[in-house]
Amino acid sequence: MALLALIRHGESIYNLENRFTGNLDIGLTSQGEKEARLAGTKLKEFSFSYAYTSVLNRAVASLKIILEEMQQNTIPVIKDKALNERMYGSLQGLNKEEVAKKYGENQVEIWRRSYEVRPPDGESLEDTYNRIVPYYKQEIEPKLKSGKNILIVAHGNSLRALLMYLENISRIDITKIDIPTGTPRLYDLDSTLKIKNVKYL
């Protein structure tokens, strides 16, 4: 039996400015720091053996704040680009409303939510899935099977891809799922990694 906690980083500057962030290395807002502290407070009663994050600052900073709040900042932290946000290509840094005016709201929604369609010069959610899920299977599943509790702090789309795998979510249903910033999603897993319970804290 093991616990797996997934957390999307706290609000970033580009979240606040309604811009496509992708794999640009953008920092947290003061609100994002507060969200990370609150996430740490919610997880204080749990103990983790390992923490994983992407190599992007907004996730790394969120994890640092969360572990400090939990008073567990001595556990091993593994950073890997496999957990990075999907790359939005030529849309990165652009305002979402301005892009919608240029290409149409429907096209922007397809770029943001669909599974297969790539934004211009960017990654699809399928590409992100094919990056993160093999890493999760190889690096994290063995630790969970041995009873280790794992914390992952990553990004909206990298975590959406992981949710598809963990919860057997279809390509259609994933289009309707958005992951809130700074809100832990906690999985209670049995020894075969079957989900016994899952909830947002």
Helix (H) or strand (E) holding 186: strand 185-189
Which entry of 9, 11, 35, 123 is annotated as an active-site residue?
Answer: 9
Q: What angle do CA 42, 48, 50 make, to 5 degrees?
A: 125
> Is 85 known to be catalytic?
yes
Which entry of 11, 35, 69, 85 is annotated as an active-site residue?
Answer: 85
Euclidean distance between CA atoms 193 and 115, whole angstroms: 25
β-pair partners for 189: 2, 195
Residue 57 amino acid letter:
N
> Is 9 known to be catalytic?
yes
Residue 87 amino acid letter:
M
The phi and psi torsions of 149 (rounded to 5 degrees) equal -85, 135
* Residues designated catalytic: 9, 85
